[in-house]
A and B are shown apart, each in its own frame.
Chain A
Amino acid sequence: MPPEPDAVLRAAAEPYPAAGRYELEVNGVRREVSDAWLGESLLFVLRERLGLPGSKNACEQGECGSCSVLLDGVVVCACLVLAVDAVGSSVQTVEGLSAAGEVADIQAALVEAGGVQCGFCTPGFVVAVHDLLSRRPDADDLEVREALSGNLCRCTGYGRILEAVRSVQRARAGATGGASARA
């Protein structure tokens, strides 16, 4: 059944329908969102409504990875998630990867290896590396490159970012006394 012309007209008369009041679970905390527009992305809501600017806003089309977050534990671009569609899911941002005021080992390794220059892409890389190493702790070079292929960096040329990933793998393998990471 095609939409009733009336309803379409009513919808058109309200160009930015409100999404109502809803709750998101972000970094383990329930956060209320109100007065939002239906079409707001999760990235926009995180940055502009919930005060979490770690996820960066660059391309708004899923090309650059700088807004990478974990949605129910799966890495996605927050710019391509409709915020209201994250209701009932767990959202983890770069801010939630380490305790407040602390630096995650991936972040420290990126600084140490010179994998941070302007720093804009860094939060996205931190989330993508976190996701990869939690699934594949001893990922080889090819897997690392594949896992980071959706994250653009215009400064470093990637070599030092890859070195940072290898150093995290070595440190974690050493710390647990487990199988050594493939260098």
Chain B
Amino acid sequence: MRVAPVALPGTVAEAVRALTEAPGAQLLAGGTDFCVEVNFGLRRPPAVVALRRVRELRRCEVTERRVVIGAGTTYTDMAAPELAGALPALAAAARTVGSPQIRNAGTLGGNVATASPAGDTLPVLAALDARVTLQGPDGERTVPLPEVVTGVKRTSIAPDEVVVRVEVDRPRGHQQFLKVGTRNAMVIAIASAAVVVDLEARRVRVALGSVAPVPVRAGDAEAHISDAIDWGAKDGPRASEAAVARFGELVAAAASPITDHRSTAEYRRRAVQVIARRALERCVARAA
């Protein structure tokens, strides 16, 4: 179905064909970023390929070991029981996005492709080692998230490629996402942190949002706390107060925040230290 210069494809293949037939056409998913830019005169699309009707983009699959999330999955869907049970940190991040109206429209694929430093799902995807599948004229390619999100609102997605789905392994263990903003609703993150515990690998993974151009994995903090945790305790992993405090310091050191209209670099560094430590404390018990 076409309304020139608008394509309203029903499949990913049709969307890709529309992109190649109308060079310069822009992809529209939930519109929560795109339409703001159009409304404010910052974006003037010569042609649009709208993805809302592509049902295959909303397909999700939850299995014992793996979760596949279609790029058209909305924040509301991510926070609903099926996905929330499998990926609680992603659901927690989705719940903090905008308002019900925004969460009903905005999508996971849109969050990835927009590549805002404050994209709320991005630290969670980074902590989960997410793989992103893109489809273009030559078929699909699957790449790790850091190879897709390369800078502030910059990606390696080609102009004729569509984000199709995101895939993560499903670790056993607690997960947390915490975010700091000026209020509880309708707020863009000043700093955010996702902590994922993998009981089988005996690893803690932590990723930070809004404190660098792209989501940051705090590798030193991960190595330190993964070594410091007593993984054998029978009521779950435990860490000492000193080890948790050191974790917070290493998280802060991994951040490279800036001062802008939302906050200062100093506040962001401090905030991300506190919320990452708090997120860890919700996942790991205190050792004597």
Known: A17-B46, A85-B52. A41 touches B38 (CB 8 A): yes
Q: Does B218 belong to the interface (CB within 8 Å)?
A: no
Known: A3-B159, A62-B32, A77-B102. A149 touches B8 (CB 8 A): no
Contact of B6 among A4, A8, A14, A84 (CB under 8 A): A84
B36, A62: Cβ atoms closer than 8 Å: yes
Contact of A60 among B30, B39, B158 (CB under 8 A): B39
Where the two chains meet, the residues of B that have a C-beta atom closer than 8 Å to any C-beta of A are 1, 3-6, 8, 20, 22-24, 28, 30-32, 34-36, 38-40, 43-48, 50, 52-53, 98-102, 104-105, 137, 158-160, 184-186
A88, B39: Cβ atoms closer than 8 Å: no
For the A-B complex with A38-B6, A62-B102 known, give 7 more contacts whose Cβ atoms are closer than 8 Å: A3-B159, A7-B23, A22-B3, A38-B47, A61-B39, A128-B101, A151-B99
A84, B100: Cβ atoms closer than 8 Å: no
Residues of B within 8 A of A1 (CB): 20, 137, 158-160
Contact of A149 among B35, B50, B52, B99 (CB under 8 A): B99
B101, A84: Cβ atoms closer than 8 Å: no
B99, A81: Cβ atoms closer than 8 Å: no
A19, B6: Cβ atoms closer than 8 Å: yes
Q: Does A75 belong to the interface (CB within 8 Å)?
A: yes
A22–B20 CA distance with the chains assembled, in angstroms: 23
B196 CB, min distance to chain A CBs, angstroms = 26
Known: A17-B46, A82-B31. A39 touches B38 (CB 8 A): yes
A77–B106 CA distance with the chains assembled, in angstroms: 11
Contact of B39 among A11, A16, A79, A128 (CB under 8 A): A79
Q: Does A53 belong to the interface (CB within 8 Å)?
A: no
Q: Does A65 belong to the interface (CB within 8 Å)?
A: yes
Known: A82-B50, A150-B99. A60 touches B40 (CB 8 A): yes
Say what secondary structure dominates the interface of chain B: loop
B47, A41: Cβ atoms closer than 8 Å: no
B39, A65: Cβ atoms closer than 8 Å: no
| Contacts of A34-63 to chain B: CB distance below 8 A | 38-39, 41, 60-63
A63–B38 CA distance with the chains assembled, in angstroms: 15
| Contacts of A1-28 to chain B: CB distance below 8 A | 1-4, 7-8, 11-12, 14-17, 19-20, 22
Residues of A within 8 A of B158 (CB): 1-2
13 A-B pairs within 8 Å (CB atoms) are namely A7-B22, A20-B6, A39-B38, A39-B43, A41-B35, A65-B99, A75-B101, A81-B31, A84-B48, A85-B6, A85-B31, A128-B100, A149-B184
A128–B99 CA distance with the chains assembled, in angstroms: 11
* Chain A residue, CB-CB nearest to B6: A84
B24, A7: Cβ atoms closer than 8 Å: yes
B104, A16: Cβ atoms closer than 8 Å: no
B35, A80: Cβ atoms closer than 8 Å: yes
A68–B4 CA distance with the chains assembled, in angstroms: 27
Known: A3-B23, A62-B101. A85 touches B8 (CB 8 A): yes
A112–B140 CA distance with the chains assembled, in angstroms: 58
A81, B23: Cβ atoms closer than 8 Å: no
A60–B35 CA distance with the chains assembled, in angstroms: 9
B28, A85: Cβ atoms closer than 8 Å: yes
Q: Does A133 belong to the interface (CB within 8 Å)?
A: no
Contact of B102 among A3, A38, A150 (CB under 8 A): A150
Contact of A82 among B20, B38, B46 (CB under 8 A): B38
Residues of B within 8 A of A102 (CB): none
A21 CB, min distance to chain B CBs, angstroms = 8
A11–B44 CA distance with the chains assembled, in angstroms: 10
Contact of B35 among A20, A82, A150, A151 (CB under 8 A): A82
A80, B24: Cβ atoms closer than 8 Å: no
